[in-house]
Structure 1
Amino acid sequence: MKLCYYYLLLLLFLCQTATAQRQQLEQTIDSLLLADRHFPTEDKARLERYEKLYKCYAKLNQEAQVVAYTGKAMRLADKLKLPRSAGDAWYHLGYYYHSRGKYIPAEEAYKTGIKKATEIGYRQLYGDIYYNLGAMYASWPDYDKALHANLEAVAVFNELGDKESAAGCQVNIASAYKGLAQYQQAIAYLHKALEVFKNTKGNEYGIALSCSELASIYFQADEQKLGMSKTQKMQAALQYLALAEGPANQVQVYDLLGDINVTRGRIYSMNGDVEAAEHAFRKALEYNKGMTDISLYANSLLSFSEFLMSQQRYADAAPLVSEALKIGEEGKWPQVQRDAQLALSTLAEKQQQYTVALDHYKAYIRYRDQLFNEQNEREITRKRMQLDFLIKENDYKHQQHTMSLALQKRTLEATQRKQALELKERESRIQKLAFLQRQATLEREKLQKENELERQRLNANLDRKSRDEKILIQENKTKLNRNLAIFLGVILLGLSGAALLIYRANRKTAQLNRVISSQKAELEELGKVKDRILGMVSHDMRAPVNSLISFTRLLEHGNLSEDKLKAYTLSLTTTLGHASNMMDNVLNWAYSQMQGFKPELQMLDISTVVKELVDAAASDAARKKLQLNYTQDGAATAFGDVNMVALIVRNLLNNAIKFTPEGGQIAISIVQATSCLQLRISDTGVGLSAAQQEWFNSDSVAVSRSTRGTNSEKGFGLGLTLCKTFAAMMHANISAARNVQGGTTFELSMPYSQV
């Protein structure tokens, strides 16, 4: 009672907190809009109002207003020549779409923000956007892009000396590796990030997130991959959840606290602690109830409903799933709608409401395909445009570089000509000076000798400068040739990369086409099977119903003799028995085709199942004067589903009785082979035709043609198809062969252990 009271108080507090936050945001928006009307001057103050407005609208999840005011902020920032503010607006718009699962517009906004950051050298924004892109690609999931984006962000943060943000990227990289089921690498990256967060102050959120991710990995990973037992793995997960909860409570990160309690609830549920599991799921609901992002609350509802369904509490689970679907429809969250439809289908199936389950499952398929097709179509178009732009950009850069080289060459030639003219002028001046010196008088002989010495010294300097200039020219030529070679190499690598991208795109397209063709063929084949089954049902159900109607009318008149009544009753019993057997086969076939149907495989005593069915068929065999012989070779245990084995044996025995004439024999034997247990049912009847035997031993899913038995017994044609389908589901093998003395031998080979 105290616990319920605590829950009620906490839920009331969170609801009041959420309402108060919303009212505060609306008041802030009203004051900002009023200020914008009174002060319409386009200045920095108005830009700051726009920034506050789109952030407030984002918290209220009003998409139209977010888009409108980010656009106004971008335009005003460009007008005021404040490119950093424009880049920040693109970043917040991308984050808004990202946080609501709209990955395509989020990616476009982020990439525009990266372009802005690159143009203005805004390295911090460049790193922050790639950080968010890495997290988004990991949840897309596109793990190759996620790793690339996070590595880009790590490089920038290391350059800026921002160790905490680099550690955050390592958490994102770990998330990508977790999605790829490479758990050891994910754990290694999380421990690196956790070490950084622990060694710096104010990183409680980073510590909580890292520990929560470690707990999730230990819960999900296979024991063999971790080298741990199941008990050790669950204990490690619970320990990390405890380590995460303290810092998360300290900084009041309610969405993370919700995730921690969902994971804890699943662990307790798996360990069989139902009360503790329910307590954890309810705490997750309470934390996410007050979040502005209501999709988190919807996901918590679905997780709790999954637990309730596992406990067969379907009445408690139904309103939770309905509320989650309502949230998804009102907030236009396609992922939430998809998951809620799947949960409703599972719930209806558990309650044996198969028509309702099928309707919800069709809705789930529609949302799943819608999300998949939209993302892939936009991604293919974006890739094609990106490749075309890259090729054009490389051509343009090549032309610009060629023109630059030509301009440099002409500049160098002009410099050389100028230097040659200067040299000639100096030589002419020196020659003129020498001529004047030779014309001097003897009285100036001493001065002439001094001038001659000066001339020689000048000549030596000129020669040295000339040699230096020649060496410089040669070095410039060498550098030019080396730069040209490097440029050509870069161009070659770029073209090779583009060719590789084109090749990979074509190969992926071809693979996708093959998958689509295969799926189309399977759907066409299943459609044909469904049409034929419906045709058979509509035809074969008419006779039993008409017989029953005729019999009731005869009973109404009351003029039947006892002999006629017995004859009609025997005929009606046979007809209704055929109809019942036919409907059992149709329902079993339909159930086997439902998505999510799985056999309950376990070790079985096959002899017990077979003996019961042989005893049940003895009366039918006696009516046709058939001899039933059952033999068993030692123990008869194998791995399979008891209901599927019973259905296969029952159909094969019914077929043997149906197609064996009076006085014939039916032999049932169980033989222990080296790698499997073999169940054989052999008869001396009419046997399968060559075409029927080839069909049965093939992989075809088509329904065989129904034929009448030796006493004109009716059939439906679905029994052998069910035998093939269920044998494949149990990882068993079934085959048919004609006997030398006539008739057919069916052999069911079942494994001794789980495959």
Structure 2
Amino acid sequence: MIQVVTWQRLALALAFWGLFRGEEVRAAGRPNPRAIVDSLRHRAATEAADTSHTQTLNELGFDLAQLGQYAEARSVLRQAQRLSRQLGFATGQVRALSGLGVSYQNEGNFPQARVLLDSAVALGQQLHEQRKLGSALLNRARLCNSQDDYACALESVQAARRFFEARGDWPRTSQTLNGLGSIYSNRGDYPRAVAVLFEAVRLARQHHDAQTEVNALGNIGNVYLKEKEYSQALQTYQLLLPRLDAVPDFRGKPEAYHDLAIVLAHLHRPQAEAYFKKSLAGFEQLKEPADVGQVLGSYANFLLDAGRRAEAVQAYTRALALLQAADDNSSTANVLNGLAQAYQQSGQPALAATHARAALALAQRIHDLPDLQTAATRLAALAKASGDYRRALAYTEQAQAANDSLFSQAKAEQIGRLQGDFQLSQERERRQALAHTSAAQAETLRLRLRQLRGLAAGLTAAALGALVLGWLAWQLRRRNRLVEKQRAELTELNATKDRLFSIIGHDLRAPLHSLHTFVELLSGPPLPPERLRQYTRHLTQTLDQTLVLLENLLGWAVMQLRGASPPRAEILSLAAAVEDAASLLAPTAEAAGLTLRTTLRGDEWVQADPAAVRLVLRNLLSNALKFTPSGGQVTVAAERREGAWQLAVADTGQGLPTPTPRQPLAPQGLPRRAAQGAPGAGLGLVLSRDYVRRSHGELEVASAGPGQGTTFYLLLPAAEGSASPLLRAPDSSPAVTASAA
């Protein structure tokens, strides 16, 4: 696991950098940058104030920024901007603004960098700048990509691509395609990334641009490695290595050796060790300690997987020293986790715990969720092995919190991909509709010509003409019915999309505002402990409800947008399903001071979709806990009714606003109850009802009125032969999960 995390982090660091690699390589081959800066200073002091002088100032500003002298670089670039504006020299203005933006970006001031790069692009478009607009667009794309603003990055790169294609600048077009492929890779759209990168390779070969070809091949290998397509990644890197000799890139070979070694390690090939050593030798020759430390960390993972623990510990220790000296915190946390794993496998729990705690502290400081989860999980296991269950529980909760955060991020990305897929499907349907309309119009014209020819044939063809007209009318009516059906389907899809976006916009905004308010309170004057605990409880409850909403929303979106697949009916133990849901929600009940009790005997077997039943149970229990005040009770019981099992979830909470006799659940017409935290969308009940009906069951509700509690009844078909000893669960007492009031 550590090896995969290391590779993902390395791939993310390299992504999109290949777009600018050619310029950096050319800069690396220039002799003595400080001497060049001194020469440019002398030339700038002696030149007349003309366009050549603005070009000299811009070049001097860029070189100073490369040397890290940002204050002087910005002073020079502002001089170039003012002089270019006085001379009406559009190229100089765009170049100076772009250089100022890059300078602020390299220094970490991203908001100011964004303002300047946006100004450079806007000015270039306004003045029809023909030389530096493309570079300004690429610089803005690089900034947006580094901030995960993929919409801005895609827009900028695609605009740069159109700019270079319109001018026949194919080398820059291929470089732009390389950057576009990196953006798609960062978004997780791997098929589109590979297609764009292969187009970049084709253009680079066609125009003999070896550097861009090498960059694009390296990015293709990175994509295959992210997708765990190790055989294809191996073929790509084997194709890349011979081409590295054609480019003046001293870092290219050791990087490629490192990537190839990781692929070979995944394929369990012994050649991996040789390529790790080649990569180490290359970076040591370049005197790049941070890169040496990263390669050593990957090599140590390989040694640990091979069972060579002593060598792995030596490699980890050396990597740790190099990475700490280079202030590479992310890789340092990963190496600390590797050392903890090595010591744990070697039977040295004290050293393992020491390094795991160091990894945990560093990961918390830099908000590195994967390493935080790994370190907390290992510390929990070590504490449990030593008998310190209280500490083990605390570490387990930290690991679970990190896992929940990673899960939330994955869900958010999944929602984005669903939206993108939906938009793409709409675009395809629109094109198909246009094609069908054009075909229908062409067919109508051909039929009318045929009618005119029939009329011209004379009276002898009148009967045949009547038959043809009747057939045409029938065809038109049939086509009209088809068009109406397609229009109704499109209207339904559009309504589903509107409802999905309405739920996202309405119900996700409130918890996000709560989170923003809580953060503002924390950044202000210190709060009293009791008030801080109160706000923390409220925030935790809001986030829990938001996670439930996201889970329900994704299930509903998949059912609505992709179509519901047939239910996967299986023989399922209701007692086991209820026990799973109760165990999952027991901490919530305990925190709210509620009692959660189940009375199932274990012989309740139904025929239903297991995933659907578990989702419905989680929603019903979660609702019951949410609407029951502290000190109340939630009870789950089962009863056999003819050919079905009836499961009742009853709470002693506030009940419905009006007395409601037992009736089938209709979420849209159900009176709304006021929850203790943020209000929900009611989507959980809608989704539960739909899933139950797909399993040929029914969901009903009853309430005696305000303060009398609410009971939800879940009826599912009983499994055939459920009374047979083969299907009956072992005798057990009723399971009870309770908390202190």
* Higher helix proportion: 1
- Which of structures 1 and 2 has the bigger CA Rg? 1
TM-score normalised by the chain length of structure 1:
0.46
